[in-house]
């Protein structure tokens, strides 16, 4: 069964991390660094606009420029690899995303003063890529690691926790463990409902995953209740 994952939310901290790197580096503005800053800003704008094909092209330019301006296993190069991996993942090209996400995680592990939420977002992105590639044991380890950061980091928030809970639910649904899947998806739903400004699509993604889990286990009454909630969301978007 295919349960939709969220390569957004907590994983969007990869983009936040890129912006953090951008801010940290803005003090020294050599010509090559200015070009890297401009390319990074363009990449973030394209990702925010969901223009993933152009974002992919921009991400490669960001990485190439980072490797020239900040050579070695630096935070900027790690962010560049993260960006390329995330852009490939957004396009559903998970086999191509994997090596970039892996390299980003490997680089960040060696950097002592990294931003932990940025690192958690990069770890989660790799876990979600592995999930789509069927590498479930590795995905489980990474998704739990990112969830623990979301749960305990002082700068994390409930939306990030909700997204991580959803992705753990998707993992267990893919493993066929629907008891665990239901638990995590219900917790994700309750956490997301704390945000009245949350777009209906975000709630619908988790509700749809929960509906799939109930259908897979022939829990018809629960499936009917979730289906009614989804219909209510769809009606509200048309009003």
Cα distances from 216 to residues 164, 172, 178, 224, 231, in angstroms, run: 22, 13, 8, 13, 20
Mean residue pLDDT across the chain: 84
78 three-class SS: helix
Output the pLDDT for position 7.
44
Output the pLDDT for position 181.
95
Which is nearest to 135 in space by CA: 101, 178, 91, 84?
101
Confidence of residue 199 (pLDDT cuts 50, 70, 90): low
On the question of pLDDT at 8 being above 50, the answer is no
17-32 pLDDT, tens digit per residue, is 555 555 555 555 567 7
On the question of pLDDT at 5 being above 50, the answer is no
123-159 pLDDT, tens digit per residue, is 999 999 999 999 999 999 999 999 999 888 887 778 7
212 in Cβ contact with 173 (< 8 Å): yes
Output the pLDDT for position 21.
57
Cα distances from 102 to residues 209, 221, 231, in angstroms, run: 27, 42, 39
Percent of the chain scoring above 90 in pLDDT: 51
Exposure of 227 in the CB half-sphere (CA atoms within 13 A): 10
Which is nearest to 128 in space by CA: 143, 141, 118, 116?
143
Cα distances from 117 to residues 114, 206, 220, 233, in angstroms, run: 9, 23, 39, 31
Could you give the CA distance from residue 84 to residue 58 in angstroms, rounded to a whole number? 9
40 in Cβ contact with 59 (< 8 Å): no
Output the pLDDT for position 9.
40
For CA atoms 154, 205, 169, 134, the dihedral sign is negative
On the question of pLDDT at 120 being above 60, the answer is yes
Q: Of 40-49, 155-164, 169-178, 223-232, which gets the smallest average pLDDT?
A: 155-164
Confidence of residue 234 (pLDDT cuts 50, 70, 90): confident
Confidence of residue 70 (pLDDT cuts 50, 70, 90): confident
Domains of the chain: 9-156 (1.25.40.10), 178-239 (no CATH)
On the question of pLDDT at 14 being above 50, the answer is yes
Output the pLDDT for position 131.
95
Terminal Cα-to-Cα distance of the chain (whole angstroms): 33
Q: Classify residue 119 as left (phi > 0), alpha (psi -120 to 50) or beta.
A: alpha
Burial class (CB in 10 A: 0-12, 13-18, 19+), 108: buried
Lookup: tokens for 31: 């010509």
């Amino acid at each position: 069964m295919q349960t939709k994952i969220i390569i957004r939310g907590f994983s969007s901290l990869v983009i936040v991390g890129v912006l953090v790197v951008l801010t940290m580096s803005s003090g020294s503005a050599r010509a090559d660094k200015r070009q890297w800053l401009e390319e990074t800003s363009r990449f973030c704008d394209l990702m925010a606009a969901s223009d993933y094909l152009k974002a992919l092209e921009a991400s490669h330019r960001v990485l190439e420029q980072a490797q020239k301006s900040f050579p070695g296993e630096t935070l900027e190069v790690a962010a560049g690899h993260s960006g390329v991996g995330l852009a490939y993942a957004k396009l559903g090209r998970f086999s191509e995303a994997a090596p970039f996400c892996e390299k980003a995680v490997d680089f960040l592990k060696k950097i002592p003063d990294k931003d932990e939420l940025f690192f958690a977002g990069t770890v989660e992105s790799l876990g979600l890529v592995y999930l789509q590639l069927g590498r479930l044991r590795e995905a489980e380890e990474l998704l739990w690691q990112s969830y623990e950061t979301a749960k305990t980091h002082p700068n994390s928030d409930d939306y990030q926790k909700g997204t991580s809970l959803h992705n753990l639910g998707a993992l267990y649904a893919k493993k066929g463990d629907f008891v665990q899947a239901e638990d995590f998806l219900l917790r994700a739903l309750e956490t997301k409902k704390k945000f009245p400004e949350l777009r209906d699509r975000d709630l619908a993604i988790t509700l749809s995953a929960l509906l799939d889990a109930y259908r897979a286990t022939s829990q018809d009454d629960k499936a009917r209740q979730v289906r009614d909630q989804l219909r209510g969301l769809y009606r509200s978007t048309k009003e």
